[in-house]
Amino acid sequence: MAVSKSDFLNYTRCPRFVALAELRKEKLDADLSYAEYQEQERLEQIQEILGNMFEDETYEHDLTQKVNAQLEALMPFYKQVEIEAGGLANKYFGGKSKYAAATKNQECFEFNQKGIKYVCYVDIYNENKQGINIIEVKATTSNKYLKLLGSFPKKEKYPIFYFNVDKNTYFLKDEIDYPLNQEMPDEVFAKNKAKLFDRYTDVGKYVYDLAVQRYIIEGEYRSSGNAAALENIHYYLAILNHEYVFDGSYIDGVADYKKDAAGHELIVFIDLTKVTAEYQKIIAEDEARLEKYIFALDGSPVPMGIWCERKKMRECPFLAPICGKDIPAKNSALNYLNNGFGFKNEDNERLKGLDLINHGYLEMLDIPEEWITNPKHHIQRDAVRFGKEYIDKEKIAAGLSLIEYPIYHLDFETMPCPLPRFRGEKPYMQSPFEFSLHIETEPGKCDKLKDNYIFLAKTNTEDEREELVKKLIEYIDGDKGTLFAQNVSFEKGRIKELAAIFPEYRERLMKIYDRGFDLMWLVNTNAKLYEELGFDKKRSALPNYYHKDLSGSYSIKKTLPVFSDLSYANLEVKNGTEAIVAYANYNKMTKEEYQLMYQALIEYCRQDTWAMVVILEALRHICQ
Ligand code: SF4
């Protein structure tokens, strides 16, 4: 049987996975074809892009099959990242590089152990005078690694990585000649570095991938009696540079990602040679577990945990249908608000996340009353127990009194592309391609169609942002009224970025920016705002409204059906992910399909701002 790098990651999650996977595969001893390997890589790469485009929790996990097929549109971006990384490997490492967008052209390594064949393909295989460089390309960004910061108490924070401009490479500061003790104590550095060794963190998952890669490569060298060559192999990640700003140059219509004005390259490397060497002991233990699981093939239930990666891009495919099938879809023990730390039980032990489910606490009301210390959780329980909504009319009314008219209900649809497409963009920057605006001139005076203004880009290849900006400042008077949005910081963030890219409209845009107010401050809360309005600290922190159907979420898809008969269920485009894939697929559509999808995008975005109008009206009624 063959185990790919992806299989390795999955099969070592827990003892049960391999049994569930193999039972489905029917043939335990099947080999792994190129086509199967490519398919695995394709799925992983799509997951990776989506994982970087969305915060895991905000991604719509219930994508339809149709949308999954459309996610294909994101693949060219991944391939382009690989090609750009290959070009820069040649530039900075010298020698010869083997890389290609197609997996079958990549260098393959494999070795056999106990009847199991371990296989991996290398994204970039570089040979220069110093030896061999193995470079794994990931469509993620460098800022994740630069967020590993340390300091002395109350002193400035510093990253644990040092950037060598000449090599376009990050190095861990403890691996080079660097005055680390002037920036942070050793233990602080070690604590941050340890995150690289946790395969379930944002930074650690890529390091684990590279370490598994190294394990398989070293396995091949050792089994072929060539262990001496291992000393000259170096291991790197190639990732997108979060500081890179695209200047909008194209050659024959193709973006030219040369160095930016500040000297940044699009891709940077991270030297993980020593880290992955340290990691080999852990990978060997994981491999031993994997063999044990494969030979035992025991599908009996095991505890769920971090390894299931619930609500993450790499969520175990067996979580929803098998292991976690008893977790209620609504008001489960996992739906308590802001409950990352879980609950303390009678023995002072903390139970959180899937551990609650493991211990049989499935429903929200299964959690013993004595464990509840957060007043928000009492509100949630009472809403479920008595079916009665919770309302703090005074706070809602106080919030409403702050809103100036006209209200500009605004929502952007954006494309967070791994590769910047237009001038002034950075990797994964949220590039607006659509907005919907409902203008409410006085309380309740807003027509769904007549007072709605939409801008939607006609292509995904031309830069239509200036047109979008012009429409925005044409419709919104920055001298009066309120910019109103669900999660207004997102809309404000896009306006600020557009103001920086188009300085000629900066003044007008920033006036709009300054008038932001969030729907969430009315439905949920904004503790600081309500304290300023004279409410005490405890009350200010509590939600203004709660209904059992919210099930621990204030997303507009949850609040709209609570306050109205409207929902997103009947729309062709139902969520932000679907909107992005629809836009990304423009070029693959027939004329008729394009027209239908264009209209569907209009309907979806309009629904987002109309939902705000409807909810706001419902809140006014509640306060009467
Ligand atoms: S859902 Fe969790 S426990 Fe179940 S097979 Fe997957 S990783 Fe293992």
Mean pLDDT of 327-334: 96
C-beta separation of 413 from 433 below 8 A? yes
pLDDT on residue 462: 94
- Measured in Å, residue 144 CA sits from the centre of ligand 1 at 27
Spatial CB neighbours of 313, under 8 Å, sequence gap ≥ 6? 47, 48, 50, 51, 56, 59
- Measured in Å, residue 53 CA sits from the centre of ligand 1 at 25
Q: Which two tokens stand for residue 236?
A: 């790197």
- Measured in Å, residue 2 CA sits from the centre of ligand 1 at 21
Using DSSP bridges, classify how beta strands 158-159 and 169-172 pair: parallel, antiparallel or unpaired. Answer: unpaired
- At 141-157, the pLDDT tens digits run 999 999 999 999 999 99
Mean pLDDT of 446-463: 97
What does residue 497 show for φ and ψ, rounded to 5 degrees? -65, -40
Which residue is closest in CA terms to ligand 1's atom 7? 308
- Measured in Å, residue 46 CA sits from the centre of ligand 1 at 21
Q: What is the pTM of this model?
A: 0.91
* One-letter amino acid for residue 471 of the chain: K
C-alpha dist (Å) from residue 382 to 264, 378, 388: 54, 6, 7
Rounded to the nearest 5 degrees, what angle is found at the Cα of 147, between the Cα atoms of 144 and 152? 160
Instruction: Please list the residues that pair with 61 across neighbouring strands.
Output: none
DSSP secondary structure letter of residue 265: -
Q: Which residue has the tokens 């977790």?
A: 327
pLDDT band of residue 32 (cuts 50, 70, 90) is low
The neighbour count for residue 89, using CB atoms within 10 Å, is 28
- 101-105, 254-258, 387-391: the lowest-pLDDT one: 101-105
Rounded to the nearest 5 degrees, what angle is found at the Cα of 224, between the Cα atoms of 221 and 226? 55
pLDDT on residue 24: 54
Pocket-forming residues, ligand 1, beta carbon under 6 Å? 13-14, 16-17, 20, 302, 304, 307-308, 316, 318-319, 323
Q: Please state the three-class secondary structure of 565-601 as a single string.
A: CCCCCCCCCCCHHHHHHHHHCHHHCCHHHHHHHHHHH
Given a cut of 90, is residue 369 above it in pLDDT? yes
Which atom in ligand 1 lies closest to the alpha carbon of residue 307? 7
The neighbour count for residue 152, using CB atoms within 10 Å, is 14
204 or 78: which leads in pLDDT:
204
Q: Which two tokens stand for residue 352?
A: 């959180």
Which atom in ligand 1 lies closest to the alpha carbon of residue 305? 2
Q: Is 175 exposed, middle or buried (0-12, 13-18, 19+ CB in 10 A)?
A: middle
Ligand 1 pocket, mutate which of 309, 318, 355 (most atoms under 8 A from CB): 318
- At 532-576, the pLDDT tens digits run 999 999 999 999 999 999 999 999 989 999 999 988 888 999 888
- At 410-435, the pLDDT tens digits run 999 999 999 999 999 999 999 999 99
Q: Which two tokens stand for residue 55?
A: 């915060």
- 20-24, 78-82, 343-347: the lowest-pLDDT one: 20-24
- Measured in Å, residue 15 CA sits from the centre of ligand 1 at 8
The CA R_g of the chain, rounded to the nearest whole Å, is 26
Instruction: Please list the residues that pair with 416 across neighbouring strands.
Output: 430
Ligand 1 pocket, mutate which of 12, 22, 306, 308 (most atoms under 8 A from CB): 308
- Measured in Å, residue 313 CA sits from the centre of ligand 1 at 14
Handedness of CA 375, 357, 385, 390 (dihedral sign): positive
Spatial CB neighbours of 355, under 8 Å, sequence gap ≥ 6? 303, 305, 342
- Measured in Å, residue 358 CA sits from the centre of ligand 1 at 12
* One-letter amino acid for residue 378 of the chain: H
What size, in residues, is the chain? 624
- Measured in Å, residue 422 CA sits from the centre of ligand 1 at 42
* Rounded Cα gap, residues 49 and 52, in angstroms: 5
Given a cut of 80, is residue 38 above it in pLDDT? no
- Measured in Å, residue 573 CA sits from the centre of ligand 1 at 31
Ligand 1 pocket, mutate which of 9, 290, 319, 327 (most atoms under 8 A from CB): 319
pLDDT band of residue 65 (cuts 50, 70, 90) is very low
* Rounded Cα gap, residues 607 and 575, in angstroms: 10
| Residue whose C-alpha is closest to residue 619's, from 444, 491, 384 | 444
Mean pLDDT of 75-96: 91
- 92-101, 281-290, 426-435: the lowest-pLDDT one: 92-101
Using DSSP bridges, classify how beta strands 545-546 and 267-271 pair: parallel, antiparallel or unpaired. Answer: unpaired
C-beta separation of 459 from 473 below 8 A? no
- Measured in Å, residue 324 CA sits from the centre of ligand 1 at 8
Which residue is closest in CA terms to ligand 1's atom 5? 17
Spatial CB neighbours of 345, under 8 Å, sequence gap ≥ 6? 351, 368, 371
HSE on the CB side for 27, CA within 13 Å? 6
pLDDT on residue 34: 65
pLDDT on residue 57: 45
Q: Which residue has the tokens 């199991």?
A: 116
HSE on the CB side for 601, CA within 13 Å? 28
Which residue is closest in CA terms to ligand 1's atom 2? 308
* One-letter amino acid for residue 575 of the chain: N
* One-letter amino acid for residue 482 of the chain: T
Q: Please state the three-class secondary structure of 71-119 as a single string.
A: HHHHHHHHHHHHHHHHHHHHHHHCCEEEECCCHHHCEEEEEEECCEEEE
Which residue is closest in CA terms to ligand 1's atom 3? 304
Given a cut of 60, is residue 58 above it in pLDDT? no
* Inter-residue long-range contacts of 552-556, CB under 8 Å, 24+ positions, other chains counted: 552/331, 552/335, 552/336, 552/337, 552/380, 553/335, 554/520, 554/523, 554/524, 556/486, 556/519, 556/608, 556/611, 556/612, 556/615
Given a cut of 70, is residue 31 above it in pLDDT? no
Which residue is closest in CA terms to ligand 1's atom 1? 319
Which atom in ligand 1 lies closest to the alpha carbon of residue 20? 5
Element at 485 (helix H, strand E): strand 482-485
Domains and CATH numbers, the chain: 2-296 (no CATH), 394-623 (3.30.420)
Which residue is closest in CA terms to ligand 1's atom 4? 323
Spatial CB neighbours of 536, under 8 Å, sequence gap ≥ 6? none
Q: Which residue has the tokens 């160095």?
A: 259
Ligand 1 pocket, mutate which of 307, 311, 354, 355 (most atoms under 8 A from CB): 307
Q: Which two tokens stand for residue 39?
A: 């398919």
Instruction: Please list the residues that pair with 94 across neighbouring strands.
Output: none
Q: Which two tokens stand for residue 186?
A: 């050793």
Q: Which residue has the tokens 């401009």?
A: 165
Ligand 1 pocket, mutate which of 8, 10, 11, 17 (most atoms under 8 A from CB): 17
- Measured in Å, residue 297 CA sits from the centre of ligand 1 at 14
- Measured in Å, residue 308 CA sits from the centre of ligand 1 at 5
Within the chain, what is the greatest distance between any pair of CA atoms? 82
- Measured in Å, residue 10 CA sits from the centre of ligand 1 at 9
